[in-house]
Structure 1
Amino acid sequence: MSPLELRFRLRELRERAGLSQEALAEKAGTSQVTVWRLESGTSRRIDFDLLDRLARALGVRSEELGAFFERTRG
């Protein structure tokens, strides 16, 4: 998954969950600015621990996380 695909996937999951960027950030233990940077594609660094927390906050099953991160690493 490219950074562009990641940004759209993250936004899609967040909107599907009915969460604002601020609400997702709070659930994941990060800042709204961090979520915004990931969704806008301005973040150059992907922190896999943060992506794990975001995915869990969005209700993504743990089995899906491995494939999600493997695609993101490439």
Structure 2
Amino acid sequence: MIYGLRQLWPVAEGLVSLFIAYVVTAALSYLVARATWHLVERRAQDLAHRLTSAGSDRSTLQPAITATAAGMR
């Protein structure tokens, strides 16, 4: 198993390897956080658009909220 890991991660052992692993992990975390932020922002804009397009008619407001909540599941 160790041999297989060294083939996949052919970096020197020690602090350099730990630093590279940290940088890769931080970069992946950043990319996932940005992607998640964009998805949340898009859903929030969609909800805001539905709520503002519903206008003052209360009968269309509840279905818009229910439809958006169902889409988030």
How high is the TM-score relative to the length of structure 1? 0.30
- Which structure has the greater CA radius of gyration? 2
Relative to its length, the structure with more helix (as a share) is: 2
How high is the TM-score relative to the length of structure 2? 0.30
Structure with the bigger RCO (C-alpha within 8 Å, sep 6+) is 1
